[in-house]
């Protein structure tokens, strides 16, 4: 148990739809990062939030957006879904930049 | 730009064998290196974290080493068991407020 939870576990959407994925971090973990993991690949960094502000972003288009809330929860929103967005989406939290990152179980998104 | 490579991509060994998984990174300026385990369709479980000032870390049957000068890390698993079957990912943390950079993983199968 990492203390990081994600919902939903699985999700099926159609192309063009919008989706919101949720993550609940450990208490006191001010930094949350989101990663996309395609089948057979390592996780790719989407963006990172620190104290409710985005402070880092990977090579993902603006239709990927997020929010972080004071209660250590966060959201990943994806608009105009494409088939290639099908992947496992992972969130990870940590207390400080140099700490171990604790990952949630992920949300498996399938876009048809 | 940091890149992380893991060799081999897949490995199958008989139960009881000792084995080594390899990880290489292109930029020696890292803050730490972390090894994760991932079961099929699941999130990441942190196994070992090695700070840049350390040479190795041990946990039970696992031992991870770090050689920053050569850009290499190894994960040694002693007396492998079928329950060790999973994908093992290594990830480097560059300096500053930056995300983890992952390799694609090594898929390990331990045959009873």
Cβ contact, residue pair B43, A2, below 8 Å: yes
Please name the residue ranges forming H helices in A1-112.
Answer: none
Cβ contact, residue pair B97, A56, below 8 Å: yes
Strand boundaries in chain B, DSSP class E: 4-7, 10-14, 19-25, 32-38, 44-51, 56-59, 62-67, 72-77, 86-93, 101-102, 106-111
Using the Cβ of A88 and the Cβ atoms of chain B, whether some distance falls under 8 Å is answered with yes
Cβ contact, residue pair B43, A41, below 8 Å: no
Q: How far apart are the first and last CA of chain A?
A: 32
pLDDT in tens, chain B (112 residues): 899 999 999 999 999 999 999 999 999 999 899 999 999 888 899 999 999 999 999 999 999 999 999 999 999 999 999 999 999 999 999 887 788 999 999 999 999 9
Instruction: Give the C-alpha separation, A30 to A107, whole Å.
Output: 21
CA A80 to chain B, closest CA, distance in angstroms equals 25
CA A16 to chain B, closest CA, distance in angstroms equals 25
| Three-state secondary structure call for residue B84 | helix
CA B108 to chain A, closest CA, distance in angstroms equals 13
């Amino acid at each position: 148990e990492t203390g990081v939870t994600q919902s939903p576990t699985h999700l099926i959407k159609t192309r063009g739809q919008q989706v919101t994925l949720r993550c609940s971090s450990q208490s006191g973990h001010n930094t949350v990062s989101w990663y996309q993991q395609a089948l057979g690949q390592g996780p790719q960094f989407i963006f990172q939030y620190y104290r409710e502000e985005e402070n880092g972003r990977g090579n993902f288009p603006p239709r990927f957006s997020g929010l972080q809330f004071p209660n250590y929860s966060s959201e990943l929103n994806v608009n105009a879904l494409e088939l290639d967005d099908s992947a496992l989406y992972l969130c990870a939290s940590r207390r400080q930049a140099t700490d171990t990152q604790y990952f949630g179980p992920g949300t498996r998104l399938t876009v048809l | 730009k940091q890149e992380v490579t893991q060799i081999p991509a897949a490995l199958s060994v008989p139960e009881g064998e000792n084995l080594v998984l390899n990880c290489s990174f292109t930029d020696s300026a890292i803050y730490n290196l972390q090894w994760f385990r991932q079961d099929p369709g699941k999130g990441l479980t942190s196994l070992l974290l090695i700070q840049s000032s350390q040479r190795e870390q041990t946990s039970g049957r696992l031992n991870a080493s770090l050689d920053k000068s050569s850009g290499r890390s190894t994960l040694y698993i002693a007396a492998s068991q079928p329950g060790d079957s999973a994908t093992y990912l290594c990830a480097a943390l560059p300096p500053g407020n930056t995300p983890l950079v992952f390799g694609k993983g090594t898929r390990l199968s331990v045959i009873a």
